[in-house]
Amino acid sequence: MDLHYAIPLTVVGIGCLILFTAPFHGRTRHAPRSVRTVFLLAGPIGVAWSAIGFYLLLHPADRKTHISLVLDHIKYNLAGMLLGIFLTLLLNPEFYRLMRDEIRLGLTKRWSEPRAATRQG
């Protein structure tokens, strides 16, 4: 198994699992529905892309069979769908509004906390 192919498949698979579970966690639970839907769509598609990639990586002798060629085409179609989904996320103004609000809340929360005393006397 070539690690140059296995590492991106692993990173995308784990990243998409995290994206799939992100709408159920605290910070993104209050995100707009369109952003949460994009996260939910990207999760299974990325995991399927990774699974097909690992199958093709672990079975190199079958590269000339019909099923291998079909899986290769499905993998490219899934990659195109995933790129399209991420493009819709980047073109969505609600995503940038969510990021801006997260940054503003993080800075406000950090500045409003009282500073801890370095020495107690």
- 76 within some domain: yes
Burial class (CB in 10 A: 0-12, 13-18, 19+), 15: middle
- 100 within some domain: yes
Q: How many domains does the chain have?
A: 1
pTM for this model (two decimals): 0.76
- 61 within some domain: yes
pLDDT of residue 115: 54
Q: In which domain, by residue range, is 34 found? A: 3-106
Mind listing the pLDDT tens digit for each residue in 38-66?
A: 889 999 999 999 999 999 888 877 777 88
Is residue 22 very low, low, confident or very high in pLDDT (cuts 50, 70, 90)?
confident
- 70 within some domain: yes
Task: Give the containing element (helix H, strand E) for 58.
Answer: helix 33-58
- 119 within some domain: no
- 24 within some domain: yes
Mind listing the pLDDT tens digit for each residue in 74-103?
A: 999 999 999 999 999 889 888 888 777 777
Mean pLDDT within 22-38: 81
Burial class (CB in 10 A: 0-12, 13-18, 19+), 116: exposed
